Amino acid sequence: MDDDEDRAHGHDGTPPSPIPALNFQSLKVISALGRGAKGVVFLIKDEERDENLALKVISKALIEKKGKAFNNEGSEYRRVSFEQRVLRRLRHPLFPRLRGVLNTDKLVGYAIDYCPGRDLSTLRKRQTERMFSDDVIRFYAAELVLALEYLHSLGIVYRDLKPENIMIQQNGHIMIVDFDLSTKLSPKTPQSRPPKNPVSKSVSLKNKKKSFSPFNCFCNSGISPDYSVSTSPCIDNTAHTDSDSSEKSNSFVGTEEYVAPEIVSGNGHDFAVDWWSLGVVLYEMLYGVTPFRGINRKETFYRILTKQPELTGEATPLRDLIRRLLEKNPTERIDVEGIKGHDFFAGVEWDTVLQISRPPYLPDHEDECRVEDEIDVESVIRGIFEGGEIENENENENSNNNNNNEDEKYKNVANNIWVQGLNPKPCEDDNFRNF
């Protein structure tokens, strides 16, 4: 995605809106929502616009440190820049809008739409059996298919699909976030392209078609609203292929339980890796666990390369779809056309999925604006990621001892406000291939 594309009109033909610059003087930090490999996401209130947003913040010192570790100091900044360019280009109700950018002496970040329903992993863990019914899975799966189809039509391989990156909007529909592991290939042009003008996030009820029978059973009763969330971290249909393109990526990125075999083997990968990850997500929604998790990364990768998923239970269209998605050979893995035509989605009118007015779960966010303690973003970031290492690298021993007391203060700040049970740390290139 080059600068010309970034300046070009969005996918729906509309010119991109100016992105406002953010400053902490006009922002009230409410709470920490989650963390990734490099950044922390905060719930903030933009007092000038009187709206809540999700602010992802990354330490510039951490970016520079990671760049030095990989002998490429500009690579981490390019990832941050790429993620913002992706967000600028998205024009779809299942993806966030870029609402503002932050740039201080020590921090860089951006704000997107806030999703009060949190993520799909949190929602699953609220259920009595920590898993979803087939009907609920069908709804979320259909939206994930539409979201990935749209991304692929822009030439974006997502590469980090997991429940923690699938948020629940206020209207109950999903929103996919976190694009720092995504990459750009030549756009995928399947027979059925996503609509140029996806429906608005606030769709009129009169547009809802009564014939959309597979999802008429929800009436907001399919999901338990219980908020007692576990605090332990998570760490003859012919299969067509999304791997017939000659353009591939050889990067080693992803979250280890969700990465495709072709990423593990290092043979190059393309859009098909996202359909594998979808299969892992559907398996987890059905069984409450991922299919290939081992006692360590080495065993997990071994299972991904060699083991078949255990699809316990009677044969159903959902289990068959999961099996086809978890095909180890990307050239034989089911693609978007095969997925949309699969028996699991029989009766689904794909043009009306985003018009469903009563998804399985509608979040309640009446307490989201309560601020318990003042949060210093810089202290939290430093306490979580830096631990004083960056500041201390070039200091002598006496200076290190003095700084360690300061570092402990930052760690305590982070521990005092931190939310347990957050995103598993994604795998990056470091030691990814060490079996």
On whether the CB atoms of residues 32 and 112 are closer than 8 A, the answer is no
DSSP state for residue 368 in the 8-state scheme: T
DSSP state for residue 16 in the 8-state scheme: P
Catalytic residues: 160
Name the region of 419 (left: φ>0; alpha: ψ -120 to 50; beta: rest). beta
Beta strands (DSSP E) in 71-152 are: 98-103, 107-113
Which residues, including other chains, have CB under 8 Å from residue 395's CB and lie 6 or more apart?
Answer: 403
- End-to-end Cα, the chain, rounded Å: 33
> Rounded to whole angstroms, how far apart are CA atoms 16 and 298?
44
For the beta carbon of residue 116, count every other beta carbon within 10 angstroms: 17
For the beta carbon of residue 421, count every other beta carbon within 10 angstroms: 15
Q: Which amino acid is at 99?
A: R
Closest by alpha carbon to 325, among 274, 373, 389? 274
Burial string for 242-255 (b: 16+ CB within 10 Å, else e) reads bbeeeebbebbbbb
On whether the CB atoms of residues 111 and 55 are closer than 8 A, the answer is yes
Strand-pairing partners, residue 249, are 269
Strand-pairing partners, residue 102, are 22, 109
Helices (H), 331-433: 336-340, 377-381, 389-392, 397-417
On whether the CB atoms of residues 403 and 392 are closer than 8 A, the answer is yes
Beta strands (DSSP E) in 337-389 are: none
